[in-house]
Amino acid sequence: MNITIDTRRTKDINETERSAIVRLCTEAHQVDFGPLFSFLPTDGLHVLAYGEEQLVGHAVVTTRWLQPDNLPLLKTAYVDAVATNPAYQGQGIGSSVMRHLASVIQEYELACLETDRVSFYAQLGWEEWRGTLAGRKGDERLPTPNQNGIMILRLVRTPQLDLDGSLTVEYDGRLW
């Protein structure tokens, strides 16, 4: 299948396209993604993969602020709603979406996502955070000791990181 990849902001996606994204994510994850767009800021960055004019792959990036041990807050490309149409999984669409995504987020200092598919992302250069994880709400620290599958992607502007140190994410109504 010949794949075309497009990148668009949330504010530039029409209602028909939003419905297609929600349907794709719901089918791929077997979870209702109906409220997805109520959580996305207008500047969210979507990577859309089309095969024969049908949406077959998706990922979205929003800006969040992560802080590793002894470093300032890092402007982070937080990746959500990664999905491939189940009928097309295993054909490299998800990998193509994620490689394209990595190429369009270079203004960020770090990329991060949560997954239960660690090996898929590891083959694309993502690394699993091994240290302690927590949320941050003002000056309050919200430990997340049972959190697994937090992965980071080092970008051009990523400082030196210790994957065994602590990593916090700002609380924006959710943690990871």
In degrees, rounded to 5, the angle at the alpha carbon of residue 140 between the alpha carbons of residues 153 and 161 is 25
Give residue limits of the domains in the chain: 3-170
Q: Are strands 54-68 and 45-51 parallel, antiparallel or unpaired?
A: antiparallel
Mean pLDDT for the chain overall: 96
pLDDT for the residue numbered 119: 97
pLDDT for the residue numbered 167: 97
Q: Please say if the pLDDT value at position 156 is more than 90.
A: yes
How far apart CA 83 and CA 26 sit, in angstroms, is: 9
Q: Which CATH number fits domain 3-170: 3.40.630.30, 3.40.50.2300, 3.40.50.10540, 3.40.718.10?
A: 3.40.630.30
Using one digit for the tens of pLDDT, what is the confidence trace for 123-136? 999 999 999 999 99
Q: Mean pLDDT throughout 28-56?
A: 96
Determine if residue 43 is left, alpha or beta; phi over 0 gives left, psi from -120 to 50 gives alpha, anything else beta.
alpha
Q: Mean pLDDT throughout 133-157?
A: 95
Q: Please say if the pLDDT value at position 48 is more than 90.
A: yes
pTM of the predicted model as reported, rounded to 2 decimal places = 0.95
Q: Mean pLDDT throughout 59-74?
A: 96
Q: Please say if the pLDDT value at position 172 is more than 90.
A: no
pLDDT for the residue numbered 173: 84
pLDDT for the residue numbered 29: 96
All residues at 6 or more sequence positions from 149 whose CB lies less than 8 Å from its CB, including other chains: 114, 115, 116, 118, 128
Q: What are the structure tokens assigned to 142, written together?
A: 């919200």
pLDDT for the residue numbered 174: 87
Distances (CA, A) of 108 to 33, 155, 159, 167: 26, 7, 11, 17
Q: Please say if the pLDDT value at position 80 is more than 90.
A: yes
How far apart CA 132 and CA 154 sit, in angstroms, is: 18
pLDDT for the residue numbered 89: 95
Q: Mean pLDDT throughout 5-30?
A: 97
pLDDT for the residue numbered 31: 95
